[in-house]
Amino acid sequence: MLTVIVPASSANVGSGFDSFGVALSLYNRYQVLDLLPPHTYDIEVIGEGGKDLAAGEDNLIIKSFEAAIANFDIPPVGLKLRSYNAIPLSRGLGSSASAIVGGVMLAKAVGKLELSKERLLPLMVELEGHPDNVVPCCIGGFVISAWDGKEVKYVKLPYFKERIKIVVAVPDVTVDTKKAREVLPQEVSLQDAIFNLSRAALLAASWVTGKLENLPWAMEDKLHQPYRAKLFPGGEEILERVKSVPGCLGVAISGSGPSMLAFVKGDPTRTAKEMCSVFTEKGLRSRFFVLDVDQEGARIKETKAKMLEEVDRCPTIA
């Protein structure tokens, strides 16, 4: 028996539109309980999306699993699967990337593929359509990546010694990813392009060298956030207000939203409260997570029978 553990991820990180992404210490766990006849699936979802996610072959985990089975010539097999979901759906935290990475990793485990995670990345990115969530979700860390439709190139940035926390505020509203793409302009001015290029380069350099004082400036963006912040109540206000909270090192829309992300040095409580208070002012319920950067990415864990019995008695999400 085995479990695939996959982290949440936040794409863009402000100025790094469609290229920057960071893995977060919030996880979905996909536990294989039994092997079934080919193309037969029995899925139980516990936690986020338990009532909404598709079952059987329409589930994104299974679609990704079957794509990997076909791609790597693994003998077809079905699964009895239990999915423990802690990543909120349609909130800009990489829930679809988690399912894609999880499905491919399940195929790697079941098929006993002697391939590194890096060798699996091109298929994962192809299934997702872009690399910014999938790559950090798979390999962990703060990652800058590019994809030309065939090859994936990426660099995982070293994590500096000074610890910071990542606060993610999640409102009780969703943003459709397709709509979040449609609101973006097809052309931008040279001035805005230079603005983002300089900020993204500064963000990468500042992260590598530990110059945290640059992050509030380096995370500013003119390519996507001014447009997406209007898609949900509180987005514009959080971008403006939270960056001045003591200890906040920068704030951004997580992915296409509506979750908001902030890097914090020291006590994250004030930043978290300020983010959620803005949503409250707009009439939205919200919750927040205080997270770390996950450095490991997706991983496969062997599950002992005794552990399965314990999980059956107490199906909680860590």
What CATH number is given to the structural domain containing 124? 3.30.230.10
Give pairs for 286-289: CB < 8 Å, separation 24+. Answer: 286/169, 286/170, 286/171, 286/172, 287/169, 287/170, 288/167, 288/168, 288/169, 288/170, 289/24, 289/26, 289/167, 289/168, 289/170
Position 216 in a domain: yes
Q: What confidence score (pLDDT) does residue 56 get? A: 59
Domain co-membership, 228 together with 145 = no
Q: What confidence score (pLDDT) does residue 257 get? A: 92
User: Percentage of the chain with pLDDT > 90?
Assistant: 78
| Domains identified in the chain, total number | 2
Domain co-membership, 272 together with 214 = yes
**Mean pLDDT taken over the chain:** 90
Domain co-membership, 8 together with 57 = yes
Domain co-membership, 252 together with 185 = yes
Q: What confidence score (pLDDT) does residue 315 get? A: 42
- pLDDT tens digit string along 55-94? 656 689 999 999 999 999 999 999 999 999 999 998 999 9
Which amino acid does the sequence have at 123?
L
pLDDT, average across residues 140-158: 93
Q: How far is CA 18 from CA 157, 174, 267, in A?
A: 16, 20, 30
Q: Is 144 exposed, middle or buried (0-12, 13-18, 19+ CB in 10 A)?
A: buried
Domain co-membership, 277 together with 299 = no
Position 318 in a domain: no
Domain co-membership, 238 together with 178 = yes
Question: What domain range includes position 203?
Answer: 165-291
Domain co-membership, 132 together with 195 = no
Which amino acid does the sequence have at 55?
A
For residue 28, pLDDT beyond 70? yes
Position 103 in a domain: yes
Domain co-membership, 237 together with 257 = yes
Q: What confidence score (pLDDT) does residue 224 get? A: 96
258 preceded by cis ω (within 30°)? yes
- pLDDT tens digit string along 245-255? 999 999 999 99
pLDDT, average across residues 147-159: 90
- pLDDT tens digit string along 35-54? 999 989 999 989 887 766 65
Write the DSSP symbol of residue 50: T
Position 184 in a domain: yes
Structure tokens at 171: 């409102």
For residue 306, pLDDT beyond 70? no
Question: What's the pLDDT band for 161 if we cut at 50, 70, 90?
Answer: low
Domain co-membership, 127 together with 238 = no
Between 159 and 171, name the one with better pLDDT: 171
Domain co-membership, 36 together with 127 = yes
pLDDT, average across residues 214-230: 95
Q: What confidence score (pLDDT) does residue 175 get? A: 87
Question: What's the pLDDT band for 177 if we cut at 50, 70, 90?
Answer: confident
Position 254 in a domain: yes
Domain co-membership, 173 together with 210 = yes
Question: What's the pLDDT band for 163 if we cut at 50, 70, 90?
Answer: confident
Q: What confidence score (pLDDT) does residue 184 get? A: 93
Position 210 in a domain: yes
pLDDT, average across residues 281-289: 95
For residue 100, pLDDT beyond 50? yes
Among 80, 77, 68, 102, smallest CA distance to 32 is for: 80
Element (H, E) at 61: helix 60-71
Domain co-membership, 75 together with 135 = yes
Q: Can you give the CATH number for the domain in which 273 is found?
A: 3.30.70.890
